[in-house]
Amino acid sequence: MSAPRNDISADTAAALSLALEWGLYGLSVYMFGSTMRSLLRTPPVNVKMVAITLVFFTLSTSHAIIDIVRLNQGFVNERNSFPGGPNAFFGDATQIFFLIRSSLYVAQTLVADGVVIYRCYSVWQSYYVIIFPSILWCSVLASGAGALNSLAEAGRANGAAEIFTFAKWINSFFGSSLATNIISTTLLAYRIWAVNKQTSQFRKDDRGPLATVVRVVLDAGILYSVTLIIALITFLTHSNSQFILLDVLMPVMPIAFYMIILRLSHARKQLTKSSGGSSGGAFGSQAHNQGSYPLRPVRIQIATQQETDGPGKQGSSESRHIDDFELLEVSKAQNVV
């Protein structure tokens, strides 16, 4: 099925998507530098997050460069030689440049969804919680591989084909990725919110430091999910504007990832200043050193004296034990970075 008559042309969509992608890519490069500086200056260095940050930067940069080469190929090199001109060139999903950029998009989506699942596990510390998101991630992998294989086979057959020809695989890919992100983000935010609520009775501030973490996680999840939903809608309506959304998603994914690290780093600094800089606040050294210095259960006895009226009656005391569950759970809840 072809695109609607009143739809944007494929060549116009390619030009617009490149402009938007590179605008957001410039922002992501700035955030990448800030993220790396934050990670490398916060001891001990989180090697996993540094590696993931580099992967995001490599994939988004490669995609941005490929899009420039593809635009030059369609508008300059093959403008007059390709049957149907630039519009047909950019609408043909069997082109080698289209296959390469699609491979980069699939790879980055797998990384982004995997990071959310990993963060979910880090906070819950339970494999059972991530079973369903992991199954959905496998669905993303399978549908992405199926779509790329179909594109490659169509290219080997030397026959032009629109991207909508492969709707079966692509709809499954989008749907699985969206479900993975929404479910994992919800589980992650709920766990942190629950920990924050459980520890509220031991704080003077009812809001708690983890409220910032919940807000940051939700903001990043909403940013990615909304963009993905719009991309899915444009694809289901067979609109060429889906090319714009797909290219925009490439820098949006790393931006959402960087945003969590940077905003939590800023919150950590603010709390460190407010606490006098000695303990690092709620986001301080405790969260970073939990891997090197595991917390041990510490039991605190809280005694309450109850007075009774009447002669010869003694007051009764009641005690309850509270271990450092709150301290440990706060530490795990901050493990989103």
Place of tokens 């995609």: 63
User: Which pLDDT does position 335 carry in this prediction?
Assistant: 56
Name the packing angle between helices 96-124 and 242-274 (round to 10°): 30
List the single range of 157-166, 197-206, 280-289 with lowest mean pLDDT: 280-289
Alpha-helix residue ranges (DSSP H) falling in 242-284: 242-274
Provide the 3-class DSSP secondary structure of residue 279.
coil
In angstroms, the CA 70 to CA 95 distance is: 9
> What is the per-residue pLDDT across 310-325, written as a single tens digit (0 to 9) for each?
554 444 444 333 333 4
Region 154-170: what's the mean pLDDT? 81
Above 60 in pLDDT, residue 331?
A: no
Residues sharing a CB contact under 8 Å with residue 149, sequence separation 6 or more, in sequence order? none
Region 254-281: what's the mean pLDDT? 72
> What is the per-residue pLDDT across 267-278, written as a single tens digit (0 to 9) for each?
777 666 655 554
Per-residue pLDDT band for 197 (boundaries 50, 70, 90) equals confident
In angstroms, the CA 187 to CA 193 distance is: 10
Q: Give percent of the chain above pLDDT 70.
A: 74
Region 165-175: what's the mean pLDDT? 92
User: For residues 285 and 310, is the Cβ–Cβ distance under 8 A?
Assistant: no
Distance, first Cα to last Cα, the chain: 44
Rg (CA), the chain: 26
User: Which pLDDT does position 217 carry in this prediction?
Assistant: 87
Place of tokens 């491979």: 103
> What is the per-residue pLDDT across 84-115, written as a single tens digit (0 to 9) for each?
899 999 998 888 999 999 999 999 999 999 99
User: Which pLDDT does position 14 carry in this prediction?
Assistant: 94
User: Which pLDDT does position 282 carry in this prediction?
Assistant: 37
Region 69-83: what's the mean pLDDT? 92
For the chain, domains (ranges, CATH) are 10-274 (1.20.1070), 285-333 (no CATH)
List the single range of 104-108, 158-162, 333-337 with lowest mean pLDDT: 333-337
Above 60 in pLDDT, residue 280?
A: no
List the single range of 67-71, 273-277, 279-283 with lowest mean pLDDT: 279-283
Per-residue pLDDT band for 206 (boundaries 50, 70, 90) equals low
User: Which pLDDT does position 155 carry in this prediction?
Assistant: 79
Q: Which residues of 288-310 are buried (b: 16+ CB within 10 A; e: fewer)?
A: bebeeeeeeeeeeeeeeeeeeee
Provide the 3-class DSSP secondary structure of residue 315.
coil
Place of tokens 């699939």: 106
Per-residue pLDDT band for 229 (boundaries 50, 70, 90) equals very high
Does pTM top 0.85 for this prediction? no
Work out the angle at residue 152's Cα, subtended by the Cα atoms of residues 68 and 254, and round it to the nearest 5 degrees.
Answer: 45
Q: Give percent of the chain above pLDDT 90.
A: 51
Above 90 in pLDDT, residue 182?
A: yes
> What is the per-residue pLDDT across 208-228, written as a single tens digit (0 to 9) for each?
667 777 888 888 889 999 999
